Chains A and B, each alone.
Chain A
Amino acid sequence: MLEIIFFYLAATIALIATALAMTRANAIHALIYLIVSLLAVAVIFFLIGAPFAAALEIVIYAGAIMVLFVFVIMMLNLGKEGDARERQWMQPRIWAGPVLLSLVLFAELLYMIANIEGSLSHPAVTAKEVGLSLFGPYVLAVEIAAMLLLAGLVGSYHLGRRYLERGE
């Protein structure tokens, strides 16, 4: 019972925070709401029996990737003009189309969720099981992701090298 209450609490926070993250004109405020949303999703992962995924959600998404987002925004120095430009982009004629299409998808999703049978909570999946399945049946996906990351690493090294050769 308590789990259900916590689930709905976390889900509500995630929804509200995500909505606010989309509508804020100030980029930093939007990012803070996005971090809150990620933390709420981590709580949901924990409640439905995936503690390892919950921990990774906090360490990697909230703790590292979002820090880099904030880092980039700090360098851009958007200020008041940035807010004004963002507000200008928030016109109904810009968001009306995507919202309409998303609503169709949302209706579909609601229909599917209403027809799902089964319970919310599962027995907790331990880190060991996650590792075994990653390097067992899903090893191909892990290798592909590794190659993608390597490509990113080589690419950023290449860009940085050209910058250094020009002489600071």
Chain B
Amino acid sequence: MAAELKPVLLALAILLGGVGGAAVLTWWERRLLGFWQDRYGPNRLGPFGIGQVVADMIKLLTKDDWVPPFADRVVFIFAPTAIVVAMMMGFAVVPFAPDVVIIDVNIGLLFFLGMTSLAVYSVLLGGLASNNKYALLGGLRSAAQMVSYEVFMGLSLMGIVMMTGSFSLVDIVAAQEDLWFCFSQVLGLLVFVVAGIAESHRLPFDLPEAEHELTAGFHTEYGGMKFAMFMLGEYLGLMLISCMIVTLFFGGWMGPAYIDHWLPPIVWFGLKVFFVINFFVLLRAAIPRPRYDQLMSLGWKIMLPITLINLVLTGWVLLSMEA
């Protein structure tokens, strides 16, 4: 009985942890940004300003749930849910610790890629259903950006799949027992991090929103809880990408060599994910947003050749080791 209940309990834990984590992250990110940009950030409510999370939630929950009369009503309401559902589904294949995974399918990595590519519809349909030119431009940009970067995202991981011989994330973590893939797949890691930022459309790659050019991009017409769903989806995406980077490149739940036994696996996993999330916030604080054509040419002219070189090199090394 306990064995059957475990995935259900784990799913509930991820649901609560995801929503709660995203809420706390909104505050943590603003505090960190403030720290790096030499200002305070939200520091008034409660210890270190953490009460800001509650205040924001009350504000979003009590706002008028308004649908513009010129919008496509059904699609407008459906759009914000897609990203949250898809990102939540993505967590199903993440191994948090030995035996702590909801489903260990033999196509785990492809499942993750599929879920992130379905999350695109949220931005796309939100921008289209708003019937607003800024929202439409944001949606158009996100479509081109996501479809392009999905290509490198998938290809950059194929080096890992070659070295592991499996799409299962549990196998991939197990294959890093001797050496983490961040050393043997440096190029893959580089491309995956860049593609991951582009996929979760966060600064510096938040061209679909780009508040200087497009008001608020695809969610210009959104307010209240529907806007909160977009934000929740974005932060879930950030957490999911961080979990995947740790799982794929930094040994998942395994600690560094020699000090592995100091902490339990789930704590190692949490620490590494926390570190990666902070790295993403640092990127946001440090790098300005590129122009849209720069983003696309970066993708197709630099990222794609790098992934192809990585693929050829990995294949060459693996085959020459076999021979």
Contact = CB atoms under 8 A, between A and B. Distances in A.
Interface residues of B, number: 31
Interface of A: 26, 28-29, 32, 35, 51-52, 54-56, 58-59, 62-64, 67-68, 70-71, 73-75, 124, 126-128
B37 interface: no
B143 A58 contact: no
Contacts, number: 82
B147 A67 contact: yes
Interface in B191-229: none
Given A32-B75, A71-B144, A63 B107 contact: no
B84 interface: no
A32 B154 CA distance: 24
Nearest to A124: B106
| Pairs of residues from A and B, 3 with the lowest C-beta to C-beta distance, nearest first | A63-B117, A55-B110, A58-B114
Interface of A is mostly: helix
Interface in B89-112: 105-107, 110-111
B42 to A, nearest CB: 36
A67 B140 contact: no
Contacts of A52: 107, 110
A136 B64 CA distance: 61
B322 to A, nearest CB: 16
Interface of B: 72, 74-75, 78, 105-107, 110-111, 113-114, 117-118, 120-121, 124-125, 127-129, 136, 139-140, 143-144, 146-147, 150, 154, 165, 167
B1 to A, nearest CB: 18
A55 B125 CA distance: 23
A73 B136 CA distance: 11
Contact of B150 (A26, A32, A64, A71): A64
A54 B110 CA distance: 10
B177 to A, nearest CB: 21
A61 B150 CA distance: 13
A33 to B, nearest CB: 12
Contacts of A68: 143, 147
A63 B120 contact: yes
A126 B171 CA distance: 14
A119 to B, nearest CB: 22
Contacts of B74: 29
A36 to B, nearest CB: 11
Contacts of B117: 58-59, 62-64, 67
A81 to B, nearest CB: 14
Contacts of B78: 32
Contacts of B139: 74
A75 B127 CA distance: 12
Nearest to B111: A55
A145 B113 CA distance: 23
Nearest to A73: B128
